[in-house]
Every structure is written in structure tokens, then in C-alpha cells.
Structure 1
Amino acid sequence: MKFELYSQVALTTNIPKYGLREGDVVTLVEFLEGDDNLPNAYVCEVFNAVGDTIAVCTVKEEQLHALSKNEILHIRTLEAA
């Protein structure tokens, strides 16, 4: 599924290197088109609750989930990576 740039999506997997967990919301800032050997991917910017950037990472398209109106956002404390 191709996502619109600058949209918010949720992670479907943990990304321990950045202390991110499944369900965390990220903003898509760049699309990386894959080929036969590499899947499509996105560069994601991750913000804390007050809008500071806390991580920029690349994730496979399959590791992202479109947000829907029947989901609710949640806060948690970011643990050190």
C-alpha cells in the first residue's frame, strides 16, 4: 500500500534501535522505491508529545499501518534505546 507523504501512520513492528514500539505514530517524509531485491520503504520522522524530533528512521512499507478513525492515540514514556 502506498502512503501519502507527510501523513501519519503507525508502526506494525518494534524498532528497538530507536526505542520505538508497534503502534507508535510516525510521519512519512520520503518514499524509497524498491526493486526486485529491495522492498518499498519510507523515511519516517518520529516526534515526542510536544513536537520535538526524537528519531529519523527508514522502515519497510510493510511495517506501516494507515491510521483510521476508530483508533485512539496513546502516550507512553520513551525508554532509552
Structure 2
Amino acid sequence: MMKFQLFTTVALKENISQYNLWEGDIPNIVEHHLVKNGEDSYSLEVFNPIGETIAVITVAESKIESLKKNGVFSQRSLQPLLTN
């Protein structure tokens, strides 16, 4: 059973460093991948602020969440995460 509908806008629940994506970034769901004996996953399309595709990635369902009423959109540079 799909938890999220196709073409829904969601938020990442954690950083995905190989794509320079951060927790809270806002992609759109473009495909659902049903897994019989494991966690379903979703393909996500990530856009820049002017609507160009940055990446299409596949993540486990537990790595995304619905948008929240008390959230806010923001803009940042697409750059690698800083690690200590």
C-alpha cells in the first residue's frame, strides 16, 4: 500500500550527501517502488528554485515525510554538506 501519492511534494527527513541534498529539501514523488519483503521506496525529482531538475533519486519510504503547516520554503546553494 502506498503511503504517499504520486506527484506529491514531500520533505527529506535526512541528508543525502552523494547528491548534496539536505534534510528539509523539498522534492516531488514521481514513482512508487513496491517491495514485497522490505520497505517500499520512491523515486523523487528534485528541482532548483526556477524549476530545473537537479536530480532524480530513489529513497526508502522512511526517508521522506509529508510537508508540515508550520514549515517554510527557503533557498540555498547546491553545495556539499560540511562535515567535521
TM-score by length of 2: 0.88
CA RMSD in angstroms comes to: 1.5
Greater fraction of residues in strand: 1
Unaligned runs of 5+ in 1: none
Give the Cα–Cα distance (whole angstroms) in 2 for the partners of residues 35 and 15 of structure 1: 25
Hey, what does 2:22 align to over in structure 1?
A: 21
Hey, what does 1:4 align to over in structure 2?
A: 5
Give the Cα–Cα distance (whole angstroms) in 1 for the partners of residues 76 and 27 of structure 2: 14
**Residue type at the aligned position of 2:4:** F
Q: How many residues in Structure 1 have an aligned counterpart in Structure 2?
A: 80
Hey, what does 2:57 align to over in structure 1?
A: 57
What's the CA shift string for 1:21-70, capped at 9, x where partnerless? 1000000000001121x310000000001000010000000000100222
Give the Cα–Cα distance (whole angstroms) in 2 for the partners of residues 31 and 5 of structure 1: 7
Q: Secondary structure at the match of 1:17?
A: helix
Hey, what does 2:72 align to over in structure 1?
A: 72
Hey, what does 2:33 align to over in structure 1?
A: 32
Q: Percent identity?
A: 43
Unaligned runs of 5+ in 2: none
Q: Which consecutive aligned stretches of 4+ in structure 1 deviate over 2 angstroms post-superposition?
A: none
**Residue type at the aligned position of 2:66:** A
